[in-house]
């Protein structure tokens, strides 16, 4: 692990994350040798570097904003560590003044700073710093930092999958990853591949993926705690796993189409959550389902106007082949409901551009009719940094999805409230499950950052799920 805990102060470069409330004369003079720093307000992400006037060592202050707020602190820490990786010497983060929650975020962000994006460069960019030490005397620190480091490791595995180009991460590649990850971490994985999907009635997954030379698959993972009783909570996770989304015959415009390699980010988050559950030996029974397919064109591609049979027995009229995520999820949700009696079902999907237009890049759309579940997810969002915001699920919206010839169609008749109409579509396949929540993560999974030149995976959802499941 790159991030460790120490209770010894060592003479190295020091990063000091501080809230606006921390900026007292005493705090500043202790850490910088100055009582006041005119230009530093400790706003979220604000950097300031100086030489400690007493020790002559470099000090990097990084603002965390106001204490009571819920912006993504780990992102600021990640950036602060990342931009210091080329320093000579060692880095220590001073964290003795921070509470447990901030420490958790700090350790996660610091670990992510070491994420290696340049997998396909002949020569790696030079980094001199090997790891960071977090200084604190908090007795819980080592456990908190260890847990955050573990969550960060699985997040980075998921980020690797999302950042990989689609010529490499074919549906079978993702399935094979899940199998070997299960063996390594301790959960079981079953994969239904190619034409076998039809034999297993997973007709919608097969239809979406059949035009590609890289055949579709259906991944079912299961983590069972050592002791299972009637009280053991059973949680179902479903993640959209489109390895590339061209739009199919309803083809997307080519500008920015390369970003559509991120269309399996929900699936990657579900696989990462299985890894974390197994490693933390959670007391919950967790089933993870990821339908994987490449949505592309070909003589064999499914078409607008086609009617697809689904796992549930219901038929879908395809109006637009670019609304493919809801088709594979229809089978996955129905499979979950029919084969596992779960207390809760959570699905994560990069489902609609409409959700991005509504909420932008800082919160996922949350859809459920269960108010308690919505409140609990909201709280986990604030706690973990992976924020969610609830959007409507009223039945009025359902009428837009009614088809004349089939049980439902995959595109709304009216081009409004696209994220909600997608959620109303999914609801049809949950068999009125009392505790189902859909998270539209299209805006938050793959974003611009201050670290890289173009959009990259964020690992969104993994901390959210970990926090939420731990509360059940």
Task: Show which residues are catalytic.
Answer: 252, 326
Helices (H), 164-213: 171-185, 196-199, 203-209
Using rule CB under 6 A, residue 306 touches ligand BES: no
Minimum distance from residue 183 beta carbon to ligand BES (Å):
30
Minimum distance from residue 410 beta carbon to ligand BES (Å):
8
354 binds, among ligand BES, Zn ion, none (CB under 5 to 8 A by kind): ligand BES
Nearer to ligand BES, 150 or 257 (CB): 257
Q: Which of 22, 104, 245, 275 binds ligand BES (CB under 6 A)?
A: 245
Nearer to ligand BES, 136 or 410 (CB): 410
Cα separation of 32 and 22, whole Å? 13
Q: Which of 3, 77, 144, 356 binds ligand BES (CB under 6 A)?
A: 356
Q: Which of 157, 350, 383, 466 binds ligand BES (CB under 6 A)?
A: 350
Nearest residue to ligand BES on Cβ basis: 353
Q: Which of 61, 64, 273, 323 binds ligand BES (CB under 6 A)?
A: 323
Cα separation of 162 and 461, whole Å? 13
List, in order, residues 6 or more apart from 375 with CB less than 8 Å away: none
Give the other-Cβ count within 10 Å of 435's Cβ: 17
Name the residue among 248, 237, 305 with its Cα closest to residue 469. 237
Minimum distance from residue 382 beta carbon to ligand BES (Å):
24
Using rule CB under 6 A, residue 263 touches ligand BES: yes
Question: Largest alpha-carbon pair distance within the chain?
Answer: 79
Cα separation of 249 and 52, whole Å? 62
Using the structure block, give the residue that is written with the tokens 């009696």. 341
Cα separation of 184 and 384, whole Å? 26
- Of 179-238, binders to Zn ion (CB under 5 A) are none
Using rule CB under 6 A, residue 411 touches ligand BES: yes
Using rule CB under 6 A, residue 322 touches ligand BES: yes
Q: Are strands 315-317 and 307-309 parallel, antiparallel or unpaired?
A: antiparallel
- The site for Zn ion, by CB under 5 A, has a size of 6
Task: Identify the bridge partners of residue 132 per DSSP, sorted by sequence position.
Answer: 3, 91
Give the other-Cβ count within 10 Å of 96's Cβ: 14
Q: Residue 359: which H helix or E strand, with range? A: helix 353-359
- Of 245-284, binders to Zn ion (CB under 5 A) are 245, 263
Q: Which of 312, 354, 447, 456 binds ligand BES (CB under 6 A)?
A: 354
Helices 100-112 and 73-82: crossing angle in degrees, nearest 10, is 40
- Of 22-61, binders to ligand BES (CB under 6 A) are none
Neighbour-count burial of 90, counting CB atoms closer than 10 A to its CB (0-12 exposed, 13-18 middle, 19+ buried): middle
- Of 120-179, binders to ligand BES (CB under 6 A) are none
Candidate segments 132-140, 280-288, 350-358, 448-456, binder of ligand BES by CB under 6 A = 350-358
Q: Which of 21, 320, 343, 407 binds ligand BES (CB under 6 A)?
A: 320
Minimum distance from residue 322 beta carbon to ligand BES (Å):
4
Using rule CB under 5 A, residue 347 touches Zn ion: no
Instruction: Dig out the tokens for 152 from the structure.
Output: 């960060």
Candidate segments 284-292, 298-306, 344-352, 450-458, binder of ligand BES by CB under 6 A = 344-352
Neighbour-count burial of 130, counting CB atoms closer than 10 A to its CB (0-12 exposed, 13-18 middle, 19+ buried): exposed
Using rule CB under 5 A, residue 294 touches Zn ion: no
- Of 310-329, binders to Zn ion (CB under 5 A) are 322, 324-325
353 binds, among ligand BES, Zn ion, none (CB under 5 to 8 A by kind): ligand BES
Nearer to ligand BES, 113 or 355 (CB): 355
Using rule CB under 6 A, residue 366 touches ligand BES: no
For 28, 91, 98, 251, the CA distances from 40, given in Å and listed in that order, are 11, 21, 19, 49
Q: In angstroms, how far is CA 372 from the centroid of its own chain?
A: 22
The terminus-to-terminus CA distance of the chain in angstroms comes to 29
Nearer to Zn ion, 277 or 441 (CB): 441
Minimum distance from residue 444 beta carbon to ligand BES (Å):
10
Name the residue among 85, 83, 87, 109 with its Cα closest to residue 3. 109
- Of 416-445, binders to ligand BES (CB under 6 A) are 418, 442
Cα separation of 101 and 384, whole Å? 9
CB 439 within 8 A of CB 388: yes
Using rule CB under 6 A, residue 325 touches ligand BES: yes
Residues that bind Zn ion (CB under 5 A): 242, 245, 263, 322, 324-325
Residues that bind ligand BES (CB under 6 A): 245, 263, 320, 322-325, 350-354, 356, 411, 418, 442
């Amino acid at each position: 692990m790159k991030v460790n805990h120490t209770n010894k102060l060592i003479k190295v470069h020091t990063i000091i994350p501080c809230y606006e409330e921390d900026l007292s004369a005493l705090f500043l003079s202790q850490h910088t040798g100055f009582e006041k720093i005119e230009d530093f307000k400790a706003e979220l992400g604000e950097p300031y570097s100086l030489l400690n006037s007493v020790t002559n060592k470099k000090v990097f202050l990084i603002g965390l904003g106001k204490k009571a707020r819920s912006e993504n602190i780990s992102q600021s820490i990640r950036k602060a560590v990342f931009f210091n990786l080329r320093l000579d010497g060692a880095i220590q983060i001073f964290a003795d003044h921070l509470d447990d929650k901030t420490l958790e975020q700090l350790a996660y962000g610091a670990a992510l700073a070491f994420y290696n994006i340049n997998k396909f460069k002949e020569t790696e960019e030079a980094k001199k710093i090997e790891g960071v030490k977090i200084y604190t005397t908090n007795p819980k620190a080592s456990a908190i930092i260890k847990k955050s480091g573990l969550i960060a490791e699985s997040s980075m595995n998921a980020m690797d999958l999302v950042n990989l180009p689609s010529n490499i991460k074919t549906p079978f590649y993702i399935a094979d990853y899940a199998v070997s990850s299960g063996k390594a971490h301790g959960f079981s994985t079953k994969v239904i591949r190619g034409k076998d999907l039809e034999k297993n009635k997973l007709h919608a997954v097969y239809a979406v993926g059949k035009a590609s030379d890289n055949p579709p698959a259906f991944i079912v993972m299961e983590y069972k705690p050592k002791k299972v009783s009637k009280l053991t909570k059973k949680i179902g996770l479903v993640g959209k796993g489109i390895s590339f989304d061209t739009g199919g015959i309803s083809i997307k415009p080519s500008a920015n189409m390369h970003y559509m390699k991120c269309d399996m980010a929900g699936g990657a988050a579900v696989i990462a959550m299985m890894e974390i559950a197994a490693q933390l030996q959670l007391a919950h029974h967790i089933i993870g389902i990821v339908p994987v397919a490449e949505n592309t064109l070909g003589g064999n591609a499914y078409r607008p106007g086609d009617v697809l049979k689904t796992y549930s027995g219901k038929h879908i009229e395809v109006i637009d082949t670019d609304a493919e995520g809801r088709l594979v999820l229809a089978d996955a949700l129905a499979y979950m409901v029919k084969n596992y009696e779960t207390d809760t079902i959570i699905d994560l999907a990069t489902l609609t551009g409409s959700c991005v237009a509504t909420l932008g890049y800082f919160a996922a759309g949350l859809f459920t009719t269960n108010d308690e579940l919505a409140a609990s997810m909201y709280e986990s969002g604030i706690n973990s940094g992976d924020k969610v915001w609830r959007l409507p699920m009223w039945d009025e919206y359902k009428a837009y999805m009614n088809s004349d010839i089939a049980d439902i169609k995959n595109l709304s008749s009216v081009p409004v409230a696209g994220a909600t109409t997608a959620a109303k579509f999914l609801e049809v396949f949950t068999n009125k499950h009392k505790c189902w929540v859909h998270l539209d993560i299209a805006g938050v999974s793959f974003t611009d950052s201050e670290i890289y030149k173009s959009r990259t995976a964020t690992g969104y959802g993994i901390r959210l799920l970990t926090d939420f499941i731990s509360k059940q």
